[in-house]
Chains A and B, each alone.
Chain A
Amino acid sequence: MKKILAPVVGTLGAGVIILSGISNFTDADNPFSSSYSSSASDASPLTTPSSKTNTTNIPDVKTLGLVAINYKLFHLDQLASNQIAFWIEDDQGHYVKTLRASSFTAGGGYKIRPDALPEWRKISNWSKASKAEVERVKLPEQGTGNHVIYWDCTDASGKAVKPGTYIYKAEGNIYWQNRVIFTGKLTIGKKNAKSTAQVVYKPADARSHGVLLENVHAGFDSGKSIAAVKQDPATRTQGS
């Protein structure tokens, strides 16, 4: 039996730690160490974790292919700007899926800045988005330059969409309520396709406050998988 005097923990920790059955504690191999298993063989003697039968949200659907949306982003050094969102609608203007949206707005920043990305928030009914959906679309700050995001041709529930014409949209906040909207159409099916989005500023003189997005264009690669491309963002480490 080995006793380890607990160091400076006042009255909050254990006064003395007693370990029996081991002679060298600090550098010893962990006697219980094993490769992990999610089987029931290591069930707690107290309870069986309920999640052992959970299924996971792994995308496993056959889709038509992959849409790559390219854009050039500029950083505007001013208040209430630099928020962007990309989403898909069908040819009737019905919402299909959000691809990415700036972390601040997607994560609830619109509650303190109601001017943020109103068109996207309205059509996506974003205030009702699930936590998982919010985490999926959050786009960290990107630097000035060319970027690409992908649509794997699934809808918001993860199901493959049918062949047809779809609308891709990008909205950006230039300065408070001054925004830019890009809209492009793309037909997806058995053939590859390309298109360039048209730009509208809201209000019309919004461009005078700066250029946030330009050269938004998309390409459809029939049969290509999302697994074949490198996706933004890079992994990050943040405080936990």
Chain B
Amino acid sequence: MPKFHRHQMNTLVSTSRLTAPDAGNVFEWMSVVENQFSRFLPKSELSQINRKAGSVTPLSRSFAELLFEALRYYSATEGIFNPFLGRLMNAFGYDRSFDQLDRENAMIFGIKQKCQVPIGSFSFDLDRREVHLPTGSALDFGGIAKGWAVQKAALRLIASNRSAGLINAGGDLMCWRAPSDPTQWVINVSHPHSEDQTIGQLVFDPGQWGVATSSKVKRRWHDGKSTWHHILDPRTSLPSDSDIVQATVIGDALLPCEIYAKCLLIMGTQDGPDWLYKRRPDLLYLIIKNNGQVMYSSQLRSSHILRNFSEKITMPI
């Protein structure tokens, strides 16, 4: 069972049960996506479009494709998923690749004062493939670009009759196997405070599966006074203070899992599960609350996907 990996998109991208040429194509594709959509690379298409906010800008086809998906989820989630928070993310100090961030002394600007109010409306001309980004706003495709890239790579391999495979980009993954393939995919779910520690496993039947986990712990930093993290609640313009520390969503494709895991984390346990079920009853979820309590969607609890999970995990004091 060969495994290949490469450090990309500020995370580890790995493949399992793919041939070396297939894995190489995946890594090359992920590099293309990173160079096109990174907020931290000045020459990326996204950075250039953000710099041209206030004017009409032509888009590449693939940029238009991902922008369309981002707007689709922006609409479907009623703005809980919001791709327009790039400038706010910068204002919170997350203005460079996370491994280059001074996590103890990140610069926080006067958020209310420095965040420019967008002027004008956002328009996307699908025929001309042009976008107009309001002055004072900036796109951020951080999570969605990674999920989209993995999903497209996986679907292409499935369409090319690869009978089994897995692509994992920092915990957001797609795996698949044909009914004739006897080897189950077993996915360890990490403890929110320790990637080394496993809190249970997901075991999948044949078919294609997407799994995404969103966390308030993984990317957090300090400004000398407060601790911040990268999951912003667009309703408050602040990092989410919900009662969920980690959310895992499971479906038959990765992109919706990536989007809705983040939404659950923002909304919390009081509203999130019902909100999700009304929109996407096909998605399964696994939530870790701040106090260590583990919650599952009823469909997930009644499935045989879960293995070795407990009702509560130990959290650091």
Interface residues of A, Cβ cutoff 8 Å to B: 4, 6-22, 25-26, 30-36, 38, 42-47, 49-52, 54, 56-60, 102-104, 131-132, 135-136, 140-141, 226-227, 229-231, 233-240
Contacts and interface: CB of A to CB of B under 8 A. Distances in A.
A32 B187 CA distance: 32
Contact of B122 (A10, A14, A239): A14
A236 B32 contact: no
A49 B173 contact: no
B1 A230 contact: yes
Given A18-B123, A31-B126, A235-B188, 10 more contacts: A13-B79, A34-B61, A35-B155, A43-B60, A51-B35, A227-B1, A237-B190, A239-B192, A240-B11, A240-B172
Given A21-B126, A26-B76, A54-B31, A237 B137 contact: no
B118 interface: yes
A237 B172 contact: yes
B85 A235 contact: no
Contacts of B84: 9, 12-14
A49 B168 contact: no
Nearest to B60: A44
A32 B85 CA distance: 24
Nearest to A226: B2
Given A15-B118, A237-B189, A238-B190, A21 B125 contact: yes
B186 A234 contact: yes
Interface residues of B, number: 112
Contacts of A226: 2
Contacts of A50: 35, 43
Given A10-B237, A26-B76, A31-B68, A56 B125 contact: no
A30 to B, nearest CB: 5
Given A18-B124, A35-B156, A235 B173 contact: yes
Contact of A236 (B115, B171, B192): B171
Contacts of B122: 6, 14-18
B71 A9 contact: no
A230 B197 CA distance: 21
B172 A140 contact: no
A50 B306 CA distance: 42
26 contacts: A7-B78, A11-B117, A14-B122, A18-B122, A19-B123, A32-B64, A35-B159, A38-B32, A42-B60, A44-B45, A46-B45, A46-B58, A46-B60, A49-B35, A56-B27, A57-B27, A58-B21, A59-B4, A136-B5, A233-B188, A235-B173, A237-B173, A239-B171, A239-B218, A239-B246, A240-B213
A192 to B, nearest CB: 22
Interface of B: 1-7, 11-12, 14, 16, 20-21, 23-25, 27-29, 31-32, 34-36, 43-45, 48-49, 57-65, 68-69, 71-72, 74-76, 78-79, 82, 84-85, 87-88, 99, 115, 117-118, 120-129, 133-134, 137, 143, 146, 149, 152-153, 155-156, 159, 166, 168-173, 175, 185-190, 192, 195-198, 201-202, 211-219, 234-235, 237, 246, 248
B195 A236 contact: yes
A237 B213 contact: yes
Nearest to B79: A7
Contacts of B134: 14-15
Contact of A33 (B59, B63, B65, B186): B65
Contacts of A15: 118, 120-122, 134
A174 B195 CA distance: 21
A186 B57 CA distance: 63
Given A20-B126, A31-B126, A58-B24, A240 B61 contact: no
Contacts of B198: 140-141, 236
B32 A49 contact: yes
B137 A14 contact: yes
